Structure formats: structure tokens, C-alpha cells
Amino acid sequence: MTGHDPQHIDQTGRCDCGAITLNAQGRVVSMFLCACENCQRSTGTGHSSVVVVHTEAIRTVGATKAFSRPAASGAVFTRQFCPECGTTVFGQSSRAPALRILPIGIFVNHNDWFAPNQLIFARSHQAWDLIEDHLPQHMAYREDGTP
């Protein structure tokens, strides 16, 4: 990260096996938690923790594999992952083609700057998945449609 500004990052992360490296350098659009059923399935837990950046802010080294599915919004969500170890590297929605959604865990040991500002898809949030009470919760996407 550049200095202590959580709105601008310069981070490098990798997949679990090291075959793919991702560098994110640029302005943070949003940081949030998502409890949609697809995030629960893909993470194996109650929510995903993500940071959103502009497409041009990321560079990857190594070949990813894509999995696309229809989202509850009617958009198509595509998850790019390592074909060797299965680690999600980034996601993208057809609702916001200029943005990339990065799992914060890819920056393990270098992500203490992460400060989520909301929980989306609270309608499918699991009671056992403890979320800070102060976070605004939205039943689906935010009402204004922004990440």
C-alpha cells in the first residue's frame, strides 16, 4: 500500500500455489462484504471480503481460467481463478465492466488496510457468520446501484 491511504493501493498478491501473481495499483472504488449465496459457495464461508478497483489498476502474471454464471441482478458474473489451485484471483460483473472485484485474502499479510463499509446481500447472510453491527446492510445491491 502507498503510505497509509486506504483509498489508493499498491499491493501484490498471489494464488495459493504461486502460479498467478496479481498486482493492484490505483484508486479503491469500494471495500465491502458480500453474503450472496454464490459468494458463500465460492469462499466456503458466510461472505466474501472484497475490494473494487478499476480494470486498468490490475495486472496479472500467469494464466487464469474463467467461470461465468448468471447473477441475481440479471448480470453475468465472471470469476477468474487459478486453474492449478482454484484460488479466485478476481471477479467482474457485466453490470460494471470497467471494475474488477478482488478478494482481499489474495493480499494475505498485507491487507490490514481493508475497511469494509457495507454488507450486501444481507438477505442471505448466515446468523453464525459474525458481521460488525455498525456496517450498513443492504438486502441486495445498494439501492443506488453502486458497489
User: pLDDT, tens digit, for every residue of 117-145?
Assistant: 999 999 999 999 999 889 999 888 766 55
Domain ranges of the chain: 8-29+48-113
pTM, two decimal places = 0.88
Residue among 142, 146, 124, 122 nearest 132 (CA):
122
pLDDT at 92: 96
Distance between CA 147 and CA 132 in Å, rounded? 19
Which pLDDT band holds residue 94 (cuts at 50, 70, 90)?
A: very high
Which pLDDT band holds residue 2 (cuts at 50, 70, 90)?
A: very low
Residue 50 corresponds to which cell in the numbers above? Answer: 472484497
Runs of H (alpha helix) within 34-137: 37-43
Residue 5 has pLDDT above 70, yes or no: no
Architecture field, domain 8-29+48-113 = Beta Complex (2.170)
CA angle 5, 48, 50 (to 5 degrees): 25
Residue 48 has pLDDT above 90, yes or no: yes
